[in-house]
Amino acid sequence: MDHLQLTADKLSVDAISELVVDDSCGAVSIFVGTTRDNFDGKKVLRLEYEAYEPMALKAMKAICTEIRDKWPAVHGIAIYHRLGNVPCREASVVIAVSSPHRRESLDAVSLCIDLLKAKVPVWKREVYADAAPAWKENVECAPVPPPSPPVDHIDKSLIQINVSDEELQQRIQNFIERKREQVNISNIHDFIPGKEDDQTEDTCARVRTQFVKRSDSKGHLKIRKVCNEWGPQTVSDFSQPEPAASGLPASGVPTASGLPAAIAERVLSVEKFLNIGPVAPDIYKRLKAMEDRIAYLEAISPEYAEFWKSQKEPDEPEQKPAMNFIFSAEDIARKIEQLERMDSM
């Protein structure tokens, strides 16, 4: 078990060592760091410790993990560090390690104090009797390398581009425009089949398009014309008989749907009456759509033909409203009474 603490109270060596004692351990090694009363001929009055406690405790925990990885036999580890003012002869840090044998605990304590001074963010200031206080640097901390001197000369062979900023920006812009043109060509190839290419199975296009490039636009692909080979836009084309060809009557000339003009016109009339548009070029799919609509209307009411109204054409003459042949039992009884009164008169 690990016992870690940063405290402003006076440290008790006996209490800390008792934390790691265990029946399975034959050795308890202890290190006690105290404040000495001199440094470089100056009299030291006390030490003042400060720490960033969350990070310090995290670093102390990492030290315990490293020690246990190196010596798995280590049982207990206690690291107590004092903060604030520490007078001379009093302990500022106490480390206790227990293990079954002395070698592991002795080596672990030695490594622990070295890592504590090198990695744990605890700062120490010495207060002297006849000099200004000074912050002390642990010799275990890795020295900061001096800054590299400025480089006066650079090997020209290591420079890939040696141009002005304006020239560099122009090269970047030229590269972007060249890549955009490549994308344009790829899009045109994928989405706009050529004039000589009548098959569109190998393209991504759902419609036939025409590419019109505009100087004021940065888009990769601009579509200005769309010609749907099939859809609601082409319905009116089927209602007009196409001219006869090869001596065949006009009614036998195939339309764009592959049907003779007369049949296409009748199919379109039924679709218009049922208020549905061509769903596909396949005549069988269109017939299926008509059957489904008629079945739906019959499910609503057998008399759907009387109240189903299509939109009146602009030049269609005014028509009288259709009679409603749906009567309730009360309507029939009232009609019988009227007829009986007429007979009795």
pLDDT of amino acid 320: 54
Higher-scoring residue by pLDDT: 150, 58: 58
Q: pLDDT category, 127, cuts 50, 70, 90? A: confident
Domain holding 274, by residue range, is 232-307
Does any domain span residue 264?
yes
Does any domain span residue 244?
yes
**CB contact at 8 A, 224 and 212:** yes
The CA distance from 242 to 207, in Å, is 24
Residue 10 and residue 128 in one domain: yes
**CB contact at 8 A, 140 and 118:** yes
Higher-scoring residue by pLDDT: 72, 234: 72
Residue 223 and residue 116 in one domain: no
Residue 192 and residue 291 in one domain: no
Q: Is the pLDDT of residue 123 over 60?
A: yes
Residue 23 and residue 64 in one domain: yes
Segment 136-165 shows an average pLDDT of 69
6: domain CATH number? 3.90.1170.40
Residue 128 and residue 11 in one domain: yes
Does any domain span residue 252?
yes
Q: Count H helices, E strands: the chain?
A: 9, 11
pLDDT of amino acid 242: 42
pLDDT of amino acid 190: 63
Instruction: Give 241-261 pLDDT, tens digit per residue.
Output: 444 433 434 444 455 566 777
Does any domain span residue 319?
no
Does any domain span residue 341?
no
Residue 51 and residue 21 in one domain: yes
When divided into structural domains, the chain yields a total of: 3
Residue 281 and residue 244 in one domain: yes
The CA distance from 33 to 93, in Å, is 5
Does any domain span residue 83?
yes
The CA distance from 168 to 166, in Å, is 5
Residue 215 and residue 247 in one domain: no
Residue 76 and residue 114 in one domain: yes
Q: Is the pLDDT of residue 71 over 50?
A: yes
Residue 44 and residue 113 in one domain: yes
Residue 71 and residue 103 in one domain: yes
Q: pLDDT category, 216, cuts 50, 70, 90? A: low
pLDDT of amino acid 108: 93
The CA distance from 86 to 44, in Å, is 11
Segment 56-61 shows an average pLDDT of 92
What tokens were used for 271? 């679709």
Segment 202-216 shows an average pLDDT of 56
**CB contact at 8 A, 88 and 42:** no
Residues 6+ apart with CB under 8 A from 222: 211, 212, 213, 214
Domain boundary at 136, 170, 191, which?
136
What tokens were used for 142? 């890795």
pLDDT of amino acid 28: 93
Does any domain span residue 110?
yes
The CA distance from 137 to 184, in Å, is 65
pLDDT of amino acid 152: 63
Residue 44 and residue 119 in one domain: yes
Does any domain span residue 254?
yes
Q: Is the pLDDT of residue 328 over 80?
A: no
CA 64 to chain CA centroid, Å, is: 39
3-state secondary structure of 77: strand
Alpha helices in the chain (DSSP H): 13-20, 53-70, 102-119, 165-191, 235-239, 261-273, 283-300, 304-307, 329-344
Q: pLDDT category, 98, cuts 50, 70, 90? A: very high
pTM of the model: 0.42
Higher-scoring residue by pLDDT: 94, 332: 94
User: Where do we find the tokens 């036998």?
Assistant: 252
pLDDT of amino acid 279: 66
| DSSP per-residue codes, 271-299 | HHHTT-----S-HHHHHHHHHHHHHHHHH
CA nearest neighbour of 90 among 135, 55, 44: 44
* β-strands 2-7, 76-82 pairing: parallel
Domain boundary at 172, 196, 227, which?
227
**CB contact at 8 A, 34 and 93:** no
